[in-house]
C-alpha cells in the first residue's frame, strides 16, 4: 500500500471510468478504481480514502438489486462526488427520488447546463460565460433531491444536473465531466480535490523513489530476470529495476529476426552502453524464421512465435543462477478489474503475444513496478529516469514484429524488402515533422507482385501498403490524413530506393472495422 493521499473511485460499470482516473492523475492525485462489489466496510477502512468518487454505470437504481456502495461510505466524513449513475445512487441512498427513463427525460450526447441562484466553490471557473456544454448519457434522472442538498445547475433533460450538500461535502452531477465533450469538466475535478484537501503529492519523482524502495524490499538479495523488447514499457521497467538493484538484474532480449532495420543493434547498444545493464542478446532469427517457413495463417504465425519466444526466454533465463523473480511492464489498464456487464467473454480477434504464462511455467515471482501507471505516466517516468526522448516517443511495435506485416508466407527476402521500405517511410514521416502526431506508422508488404515500368524496362515486383493511424489507446483508430504531396513523394522514394517494390498503396481503413496491424 502506498503512502500517498488516496482517492477511491467506486466503479459501477461505466465505459469511461478510466478517464476519471486520468483526470485525477493529471492533477497529481493518486487514485484507484475498484468495482463496487469489492468495496466492503473492511475495504473502506483499510483503503482510508481522502475522498471518494462514484462512477457512472448502465444500471437503474430503480431496479431491485442494482449496484450500491456500502452505506458506511457516507459516514467516512470525506467528500464524495457522484457522476451520472453515481449521482442517482447518492440521491437515492440519502433520501431523494429517481425516476426511470420511461418519463422521456433521457438525454444522450451534448447538452447545456445553466447555473441557478446558489453558489459553491465546487463550481469555481464554471458559468463565467453563461451556460456550460456537457456530455449527458442517462435514461433515468433525479426527480427529487435528498434532504440537505441544493441544485446548482440545470439542463432541459436534467433539472437537477448539479446537486450538492455543502455541509457534508457531497457533490453530484448528472453529466460526465471526465469526457472530452465536457470541455470545462477538468475544472470540476480540480475544485473537488481542492475541497477535499489534496496536496497533489503524486509526482513521477516521488513515484520513482518510492518504487525503488519497494523493489529493494521485495527482491532482497535475489536475482531478477527481465524480458526486454525495446518498447517503452519493458525499457522503463528495466531501467527502474537497474537503479534499484543494479547487478542483481539480467535482461534477456529475444531477437526473433522480425525486428525493424537496425533495431536489435540500437536496443542492445542503448542498454549496454548507456546503462551498463547485464544483457543477454538471444539472436535466434534462424529458429523463428525456420519455424515460420510455409506458414501463412495469421493465428498460426502468432502462436508459433509466442511459443518459441517462451522457449528461448526460458532457455536463457535458466542460465541465471538464483533467479527468483521475473520483471514485467504490466500497466494499470491491464490490472483494473472492471465490472463486466457484457455477460460473457469477448471474442478473440488476435492472439496477442506477451510474456504471459511464463511466471507459472518457471515458478518465478513477479515484479511489476508499472502496475499503477497509465501509458503516458510510464513515458513521464522514462523521462524522469533519463531515457532519451526519441526512445520514449517511439511508436508501439507488436511482439510478433514484422511477421504480421507480411501477409502470406514470410521469407527472408520479403523481410529485407519490408525493413528497407519501412525505414524510408518512417524517415519521410520524421522529415515532415509528423512522427509525434501519429500513433503508429508502418509498411506492410503484400503477397502480390505487380507489373511496372522503370527506365523503359518491365518490372514485376511486390506491392506494399503504407499504414498510419491516430489513436488514444490502440482500441480504436483513424487513418492519418496525409496530404497527396506527402503520399506521392513517399511512394516515389520507396519505389526508387527499395529494390523489390514497384507499387505503393495507402491504407485508409479505420479501426473498427479494420485492425491496426494487417494480421
Distance (Å, whole) CA 222 – CA 238: 16
Residue 324 grid cell: 527468483
Determine, following the binding rule CB under 6 A, whether residue 428 of this chain makes contact with ligand XMP. no
Site string for ligand XMP, 455-484 (x = CB under 6 A): -------------------x----------
CA dihedral sign of residues 194, 196, 199, 201: negative
- 3-state SS of 439-466 is CEEEEEEEEEEEEEEECCEEEEEEEEEE
Stretch that binds ligand XMP, among 254-262, 275-283, 347-355, 488-496 (CB under 6 A): 347-355
**Closer residue to ligand XMP in complex, CB, 176/353:** 353
Cβ proximity to ligand XMP, 154 vs 229, nearer residue: 229
| Residue 353 is a binding residue for ligand XMP (CB under 6 A) | yes
Binding of ligand XMP at residue 34 (CB under 6 A)?
A: no
* Residue 398 lies near ligand XMP (rule: CB under 6 A): yes
Q: Which ranges of 184-231 does DSSP label H, i.e. alpha helix?
A: 185-195, 204-219
**Cβ-proximal residues to 462 (8 Å cutoff; 6+ apart), any chain:** 414, 417, 445, 446, 448, 449, 450, 500, 501, 502, 503
Question: Measured from the CB of residue 278, what is the shortest distance to ligand XMP in angstroms?
Answer: 24
Mark whether 84 is an active-site residue: yes
CB of 350 to ligand XMP, least distance (A): 5
- Please, which residue, 105 or 234, has the CB nearer to ligand XMP? 234
Question: Residue 398 belongs to what H/E stretch?
Answer: none
Residue from 350, 375, 394, 432 in contact with ligand XMP (CB under 6 A)? 350
Residue 517 within binding range of ligand XMP, rule CB under 6 A:
yes
State the nearest-atom distance from the C-beta of 351 to ligand XMP, in Å. 7
Phi/psi at 234 (nearest 5 deg)? -70, -30
Q: Which position among 4, 34, 92, 176 bears the catalytic label?
A: 176
Angle (CA) 458 461 466, round 5°: 130
Q: How far is the CB of 492 from ligand XMP (least distance, A)?
A: 27
Q: Rounded CA gap, 115 and 164, in Å?
A: 13
The binder of ligand XMP chosen from 35, 400, 401, 407 (CB under 6 A): 400
Answer yes or no whether residue 157 interacts with ligand XMP by CB under 6 A.
no
Q: Is 511 in the site for ligand XMP (CB under 6 A)?
A: yes
Q: Looking at beta carbons, which pairs linking 160-165 to residues 24 or more positions away fall under 8 Å?
A: 160/91, 161/113, 161/134, 162/113, 162/122, 162/123, 163/87, 163/91, 164/120, 164/122, 165/94
Find how far residue 473's CA is from the centre of its chain. 5
* Touching ligand XMP, residues 257-296 (CB under 6 A): none
Letters for 178-217 (x = contact with ligand XMP by CB under 6 A, - = none) are ----------------------------------------
The active-site residue, picked from 5, 31, 84, 92, is 84
- Residue recorded with cell 529458429: 287
Cα gap 485→493, rounded to integer Å: 12
Write down the catalytic residue from 5, 107, 132, 178.
Answer: 178
In the residue annotation, 178 being an active-site residue is answered as yes
Any binding-site annotation on 427?
Answer: no
Part in contact with ligand XMP (CB under 6 A); list of ranges 195-203, 239-247, 398-406, 408-416: 398-406
Q: Of the candidates 110, 352, 361, 365, which one interacts with ligand XMP according to CB under 6 A? A: 352
The response to whether 230 counts as a known ligand-binding position is yes
* Residue 376 to residues 111, 220, 228, 328, Cα–Cα distance (Å): 30, 30, 19, 17
State in angstroms the smallest separation of the CB of 468 from ligand XMP: 12
Q: Is the dihedral of CA 360, 366, 370, 372 positive or negative?
A: positive
* Of residues 171 and 518, the one with the C-beta less far from ligand XMP: 518
* Dmax (CA) of the chain: 86
Q: In the complex, which residues of this chain contact ligand XMP (CB under 6 A)? A: 350, 352-354, 396, 398-400, 440, 474, 511, 515-517
Residue ranges of the annotated binding site for ATP are 229-235
Binding-site residues from annotation:
229-235
Catalytic residue numbers read: 84, 176, 178
Amino acid at each position: 500500500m502506498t503512502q500517498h493521499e488516496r482517492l477511491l473511485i467506486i466503479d459501477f460499470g461505466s465505459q469511461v471510468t478510466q478517464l476519471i482516473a486520468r483526470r485525477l492523475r493529471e492533477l497529481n492525485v493518486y487514485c484507484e478504481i475498484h468495482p463496487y462489489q469489492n468495496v466492503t466496510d473492511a475495504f473502506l477502512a483499510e483503503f482510508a480514502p481522502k475522498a471518494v468518487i462514484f462512477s457512472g454505470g448502465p444500471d437503474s437504481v430503480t431496479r431491485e438489486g442494482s449496484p450500491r456502495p456500502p452505506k458506511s461510505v457516507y459516514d467516512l466524513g470525506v467528500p464524495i462526488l457522484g457522476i451520472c449513475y453515481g449521482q442517482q445512487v447518492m440521491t437515492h441512498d440519502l433520501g431523494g427520488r429517481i425516476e426511470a427513463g420511461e418519463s422521456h427525460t433521457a438525454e444522450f450526447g451534448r447538452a447545456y447546463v445553466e447555473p441557478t441562484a446558489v453558489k459553491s466553490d465546487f463550481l469555481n471557473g464554471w458559468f463565467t460565460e453563461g451556460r456550460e456544454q456537457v456530455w449527458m448519457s442517462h435514461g433515468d434522472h433525479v426527480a427529487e433531491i435528498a434532504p440537505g442538498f441544493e441544485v446548482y445547475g440545470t439542463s432541459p433533460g436534467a433539472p437537477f444536473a448539479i446537486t450538492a450538500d455543502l455541509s457534508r461535502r457531497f457533490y453530484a452531477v448528472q453529466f460526465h465531466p471526465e469526457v472530452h465533450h465536457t470541455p470545462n469538466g477538468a475544472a470540476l475535478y480540480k475544485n473537488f480535490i481542492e475541497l477535499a484537501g489534496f496536496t497533489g503529492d503524486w509526482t513521477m519523482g516521488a513515484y520513482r523513489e518510492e518504487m525503488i524502495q519497494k523493489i529493494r524490499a521485495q527482491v532482497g538479495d535475489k536475482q531478477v530476470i527481465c524480458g526486454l523488447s525495446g518498447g517503452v514499457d519493458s525499457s522503463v521497467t528495466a531501467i527502474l529495476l537497474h537503479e534499484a538493484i543494479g547487478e542483481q538484474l539480467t535482461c534477456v532480449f529475444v531477437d526473433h529476426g522480425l525486428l525493424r532495420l537496425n533495431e536489435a543493434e540500437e536496443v542492445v547498444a542503448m542498454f549496454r552502453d548507456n546503462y551498463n545493464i547485464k544483457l543477454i542478446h538471444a539472436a535466434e532469427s534462424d529458429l523463428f524464421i525456420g519455424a515460420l517457413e510455409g506458414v501463412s495463417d495469421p493465428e498460426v504465425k502468432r502462436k508459433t512465435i509466442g511459443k518459441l519466444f517462451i522457449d528461448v526466454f526460458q532457455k536463457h533465463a535458466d542460465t541465471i543462477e538464483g533467479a527468483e523473480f521475473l520483471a514485467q511492464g504490466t500497466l494499470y489498464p491491464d490490472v483494473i478489474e472492471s465490472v463486466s456487464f457484457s455477460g460473457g467473454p469477448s471474442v478473440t480477434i488476435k492472439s496477442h503475444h506477451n510474456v504471459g504464462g511464463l511466471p507459472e511455467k518457471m515458478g518465478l515471482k513477479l515484479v511489476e513496478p508499472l502496475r499503477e501507471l497509465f501509458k503516458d505516466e510510464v513515458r513521464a517516468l522514462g523521462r524522469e529516469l533519463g531515457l532519451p526522448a526519441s526512445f520514449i516517443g517511439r511508436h508501439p511495435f507488436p511482439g510478433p514484429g514484422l511477421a504480421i506485416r507480411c501477409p502470406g508466407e514470410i521469407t527472408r527476402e520479403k523481410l529485407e524488402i519490408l525493413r528497407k521500405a519501412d525505414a524510408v517511410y518512417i524517415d519521410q514521416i520524421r522529415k515532415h515533422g509528423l512522427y509525434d502526431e501519429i500513433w503508429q506508422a508502418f509498411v506492410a508488404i503484400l503477397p502480390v507482385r505487380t507489373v511496372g515500368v522503370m527506365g523503359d524496362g518491365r518490372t514485376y515486383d511486390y506491392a506494399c501498403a503504407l499504414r498510419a493511424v491516430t489513436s488514444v489507446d490502440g482500441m480504436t483508430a483513424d487513418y492519418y490524413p496525409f496530404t497527396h504531396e506527402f503520399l506521392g513523394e513517399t511512394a516515389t522514394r520507396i519505389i526508387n530506393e527499395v529494390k523489390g517494390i514497384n507499387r505503393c498503396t495507402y491504407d485508409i481503413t479505420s479501426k473498427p472495422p479494420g485492425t491496426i496491424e494487417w494480421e
